[in-house]
Amino acid sequence: MGLKEFAVILIWALAANANVIVDDTGSSAVAATISSTDSPSTEATVSIENINSTLALSDTAAKSIEDALYNEVVSRDFNKAVYRTAILYGDGRDSIITNVVNRLIDNGKSQIFDYAYKLTASRGTFIVRALFPWEIRMHEDLLFVKIISYPYNFALKYSLGEDLDDEKIAYGDPNTKTRFRVTWKFVPYWIGDRVYFKIRPIDIAYFLKLGNTVDRDGDHGAYGSTNHDTDRHLWYVEPVRHKGKLLFYIINKEYNKLLKLGQSTDSDGDRRAYGHSTRDFNPDKFAWDIDLI
C-alpha cells in the first residue's frame, strides 16, 4: 500500500487534535491523541467529499478548494484543514497543498507552524515532510538548528558563565561554525489554538526567555534559565520571505516582542540579545535565518 492510499485510510485520524507530552527532563513528544476540545467550523465551503475524485479539476474549482484550505488554516479550523489536506494528498493533488503552504509563507502567517504541527500530531508526518519546507518542521524531535541573525550573520548563543540570578545571558556570536554552543532545539507546546516553542541549546537545559525589566531603550534583555514555567519562556514564529530567502521572526508570548541582536558589540565582538521595544517587522533588522544542523 502506498503512502497516498494510506493517507486516505487515516483521514479519521488526521482530523484529531494534538497534545504535547512533556517529561520530567523538559523534552517533549508530539502525541497522536484524539480530543474534542476544538469545535469544528460550521462555515459552508467547497464540499470536502467532492475533492476525492478521479476527474480533473477546472482551474476555478482547484482555486476554490485552495482558498477553502487556506482560509481554514488562517482561521485555525485545523480539524477541517487536516481532513481536507489528507484527502487532497491521497488523491494526488499535492499542488493545491503546496500553493497553500507558499501563500501562508508569502503572507507571513504563523499559522503555518500550527498547521504542520497538527498534521504531524495526526499521523500526517509524511505529508509535512513531502510538501513543507524543513524549517516549518522545527517541532520534530530530531531537528537541531543554528539561529542566525539575518542583519548581522551572528549565531545565537549563551554566555559561558551565569549572572547573579544564576542565568546565562544570550548573545550573538560572529563565529557561526557548527558546535554545541550554537546548536538549538525548538521544543513544541500546544497551548490554546496554536503551537509555542521553548528554545534551548542541545547540550544544556537553559531555556531562552526575556527579562521582566526594560532598559532605557524599552528593550527586554534575553537570558537562559533552568526553570521554564512562565510565558516569558514561550515563543512563536512568523515566516517572512525576503530577497528570495525564507527567514523568521521569533516573538515572545509574554511581551509580544521580537527577538533581536543589539547594534553594538562588546569587547569579545559579541552582540547582546534583546526583545525589541516595538513590533517592527523589518527583516533587515529583526529576521533570523534558521539553519539545519
SS (H, E, C) the chain: CCHHHHHHHCHHHHCCCCEEEECCCCCEEEECCCCCCCCCCCCCCCCHHHCCCCCCCCHHHHHHHHHHHHHHHHCCCHHHHHHHHHHHHHCCCHHHHHHHHHHHHHCCCCHHHHHHHHHHHCCCHHHHHHHCCHHHHCCCCCCCEEEEECCCCCEEEECCCCCCCCCEEEEEECCCCCCHHHCEEEEEEEECCEEEEEEEECCCCCEEEEEEEECCCCCEEEEEECCCCCHHHCEEEEEEEECCEEEEEEEECCCCCEEEECCCCCCCCCEEEEECCCCCCCHHHHCEEEEEC
**Start-end of CATH 1.10.10.2400 domains in the chain:** 60-137
**Start-end of CATH 2.80.10.50 domains in the chain:** 145-292
Q: Is pLDDT of 200 > 90?
A: yes
pLDDT of residue 279: 85
Q: Is pLDDT of 199 > 80?
A: yes
Which of the two residues, 33 and 202, has the higher pLDDT score?
Answer: 202
pLDDT of residue 165: 94
Fold of 60-137: Arc Repressor Mutant, subunit A (1.10.10)
Q: Can you give the pTM of this predicted structure?
A: 0.84
pLDDT digits (tens, 9 = 90+) for 49-95: 445 555 678 999 999 999 999 999 999 999 999 999 999 999 999 99
Q: Indicate the CATH number of 145-292 among 2.80.10.50, 3.90.1150.10, 2.120.10.30, 3.30.410.40.
A: 2.80.10.50
pLDDT digits (tens, 9 = 90+) for 91-149: 999 999 999 999 999 999 999 999 999 999 999 999 999 999 999 999 999 999 999 99
pLDDT of residue 278: 86
User: Model confidence at 252, in pLDDT bands (50, 70, 90)?
Assistant: very high
